[in-house]
Amino acid sequence: MHISPGTKVSLPRDITAGSAIWEHGVENLPIILVVEDDHLVSSVVEESLVDGGFQTTIASSGENAIELLDASDGKYRALVTDINLGRGGIDGWDVAKHAREIDPSFPIVYMSGKDADDWASKGVPNSIMLAKPFAPAQIVTAVSQLLNASPPTAPTE
């Protein structure tokens, strides 16, 4: 994995046990790519997902997210992205489209406050929009619903 500036990797607390259980090593636990430029929000999202047993990688800009996806080689199992990603020209809609160009069945969860209404015209098919404010349980359920509905494929190496 290419770790560019703005990337943060989080492991679930019971990572040693998990690694032993799945016998695939740490890098094969389900990793969710979270794209969020607000540290306060990303830490809440991260904590929710880690509590649910997911690993997370945090990208703090759209550019960073695109880089990680391009270098991921199937590493990530789902994308959770804010819409408005600040300074750069790449927003959450763009990141999601890029992820779906790489993998047409990639699970996508958008988070947004004021842009939630644009989901019907700018979102991708079979994605979920979480309108802020949402409860942590909603994000864990959203990611799980999409992963559970995905056609099963062999775990990526």
* Lookup result for tokens 């309108």: 131
**CA atoms of 70 and 63, how far apart (whole Å):** 11
Contacts of 44 (CB under 8 A, 6+ apart): 136
Q: Which amino acid is at 91?
A: D
Candidates 3-11, 58-66, 67-75, 107-115; binding stretch for its own copies (CB under 8 A): 107-115
Alpha-carbon distances, residue 60 vs 21, 27, 49, 66, 146 (angstroms) = 31, 21, 17, 11, 23
157 binds its own copies (CB under 8 A): no
The correct pick among 7, 10, 29, 64 for binding its own copies (CB under 8 A) is 29
137 binding its own copies? (CB under 8 A) = yes
Among 3, 13, 86, 145, binds its own copies (CB under 8 A): 145
Counted residue by residue, the chain has a size of: 157
Subset of 43-62 contacting its own copies (CB under 8 A): 44, 48, 51-54
- Where along the sequence are the contacts to its own copies (CB under 8 A)? 12, 17-18, 20-22, 24, 28-30, 40-41, 44, 48, 51-54, 97-98, 100-101, 104-105, 112-114, 116-117, 119-138, 140-145, 147-148, 151-155
